[in-house]
Homo-oligomer: A and B are copies of this chain.
Amino acid sequence: LEDIVAGGTPIAPINPDQWLQAVRHALRAGGHRITWPRNRVLQTIVRYQAPFTAEKLYADLQHLQMQQTPGRATVYRTLDQLVHSGWVVRLHTSNSEAGYYATWPGHIHHIVCTSCGKVIAFAGCMIEGMMTHLARQTGFTVEGHTLQVYGRCAQCQALS
């Protein structure tokens, strides 16, 4: 139980090159193809320092002033793929627009700064213990959960 309680250990931030390489590998392994538009989308995603929306990603790609830029459909389709394969998290925002950010696949939670948007990932979530407890009390079989934590990062607190 101590281990569970001790959960919530921050994880090192994403290394863009490592991430890109890993995603490309995973895509290929899944029978997908590494195309030019896809690559551009991946590269743009991994450079964000805060959660982004699909439309922002699309707009940013336009503004890169290349001869050719990925179309809106490609952006949405690629995002979907990445969410399904676990390389991107879809945030449930209060408004209608979905937020996204890059991550490593697996059971990881995140804390998002409400001021600057910075995301910190942490592993070892103690919710599992509560799940077991709940299951016993209610008769439910717990299949999963979503957790979103928000707050203000140290930097933003210092500024206020």
- Per-position binary interface string of chain A over residues 129-160, scored 1 when its CB falls under 8 Å from any chain B CB and 0 otherwise: 11101110111111111111111111001000
The reply to whether A8 and B122 contact each other, CB–CB distance below 8 Å, is: no
The reply to whether B148 and A145 contact each other, CB–CB distance below 8 Å, is: yes
Integer count of this chain's copies in the complex: 2
Q: For the complex, count residues of A whose C-beta is within 8 A of B.
A: 42
Q: Report A112 CB to chain B, min CB distance, Å.
A: 9
Asked if A108 is an interface residue, CB under 8 A from chain B, the answer is no
Contact among B120, B126, B134, B135 for A140, CB-based, below 8 A: B120
Taking beta carbons and an 8 Å cutoff, which residues of A are in contact with B?
1, 5-10, 92, 96, 111, 113-114, 120, 122, 125-127, 129-131, 133-135, 137-154, 157
